[in-house]
Amino acid sequence: MTSVAGHITNNDFPKEFGWNNCSPVALFDAPTKIKVENPLIADNITQEAQNCDALMIWTDCDREGEYIGWEVVEQAKKRNPRITLESTYRARFSHLERSHILQAARNPIRLDLKAIDAVKTRMEVDLRTGACLTRFLTNLFKGVLGGEKSSMISYGGCQFPTLGFVVDRYKRIKLFVKEPFWLISLTFKKKQKQCPVTWERGHLFDRLITTCIYQNCLRMEDSEMATILSVATKPTSNWAPLPLTTVEMQKDCGRFFKLTAKDTLAAAETLYTRGFISYPRTETDTFPKAMDLKGLVGKQMESAKWGSYAKSLVDDGRFRQPRQGKHSDEAHPPIHPIIFVGDSANLTGVQKTVYEYVVRRFLACCSPDAKGFRTTIRLQWGTEFFRTSGLVVKENGYLEVFIYSKWKSSKNNLPEVEPGERVKVQKAVISSGMTEPPKKLTETELIALMDANGIGTDATIAEHIEKIKARNYVTTLKVSEGRSKRQVIVPTELGYGLVEGFNRVGFNNISLTKPFLRRSLEEELKRICEGQATRQNVLVKSITMYKEAFALMSQQKRLLLDSYRETIAANS
């Protein structure tokens, strides 16, 4: 047995298509070649495979792992003609627990050639578009940028839409104009208990109309009283969470612990390689029905923190089969703990935090929902309608172990009233306020936007965010919100100027800073994996769209420079 460290090879252009040897547009049709990225590992595989009759691949069970497995085969057969795809076996596994590994070893499958084709397609599209647009932008901005920033303006098919999300939020805040609004605030009283209610109209942006409505209510007979229209008490539930995916883990760890997506994934990878949790790169939110979840819960009984709760799930009959989500990558189950890890494991602070979160989230999804009752009171004052509601929590359910979420009974219980009852109006006034701009973008929100728009995968979202930081397109800031602080992502002048310039070019449906083009490619890659599209057809279709975008950008390149200069001037 031997190992690899990511991809062994990479696609590249021949020397005659080097940086200054051709125009950027020529790279759309230039020949490509496979280049060994790590000669030491490649030579090791070739050497070790010389005396073998068969090969077994144990790379990660996703598209990239499938392609790396194919790279291993290509290196192994260089000096051994016995090594072919037919003599190569593939282990299908998702975590490193002993029985699972033995099961994978006894039931090998074959490499997925369709998944390999999908990765080849993605790599070629990224190579051609990235190299072409990076050379174009770098040459265009040469002499305009000062200092170290002038070395390279890099383009990436996922990075630019990610940057586009950041700039879009920043612009919405920058261009936001506050508007005044008015509303009627009402409080009624019953047996010394005061109860504020909310106007069903919300608020109005016309002071005169609000005043007229208010005065009309005051003029009505018996305006000091309001009428209870309905009192409805219904059972309500706070559902236990779905099984854990990579994106949800990154979002939660950012929200609860202020961890970056990169740090979260790095900690989870370490926990996985040490056999503590399952494979942490998955979009699956449904557990296989045959999986022994109770057995996994039972392993957590040793914990001083959550062991008693795990015991209650197994011994007291509180265990519930987790809800089924709608996503599956057909390779890995949701993220879950494999064994209990105590203090002797010598984990770092971040690793401990992520491990505890994974365990608590797993126990939570195997738990009953939190349950309670919500009472809603609706009343009428004059011509206007108001409502309020209150919550009484009866069973905490999963919230007993998932300590990061809160769901509590209302602080002030509602007064006891009946439909048709008349209650005294304690206060009725016109209140005013101002609309507020959106809040600055957090990494958690950015991850959610990328996931919803198909930018990157569960495994690469963190990488794309780190790249736009490293390329000086965005920066992180700490902002105060009362007593707490949070990190937000804002564009730099360079990032803002680039996106504004691209927006002015007017790409329509093939905009390079919008998610549509990348999302289309990801959908086509899925079709390749499903056998509904061919690598060649997808490649031609994608490259053609990028060629159209490049042609338009070349014609209006002055807009890109002017946009950046205007951004600098506006901030000077």
Sorted by sequence, the CB contacts under 8 Å of residue 288 that are 6+ apart come out as: 333
Helix (H/G/I), strand (E/B), else coil: 475: strand
Copy the structure tokens of residue 545.
């769209």
CB atoms within 10 A of CB 52: 13
Amino acid found at 556 = Q
b (16+ CB within 10 A) / e for 281-297: bbbbbbbeeeeebeebb
Q: Which are the catalytic amino acids?
A: 279
Helix (H/G/I), strand (E/B), else coil: 454: coil
Rounded Cα distance, 312 and 389, in Å: 33
What DSSP string describes 266-306? HHHHHHHHTTSB--S--------TTS-HHHHHHGGGG-TTT
Parallel, antiparallel or unpaired: strands 88-90 and 55-57: parallel
CA gyration radius for the chain? Answer: 30
Could you tell me how far CA 10 lies from the centroid of its own chain? 27
Residue with tokens 């290509």: 74
- Return the axis-axis angle of helices 113-141 and 535-555, rounded to nearest 10°: 10
Rounded Cα distance, 26 and 23, in Å: 6
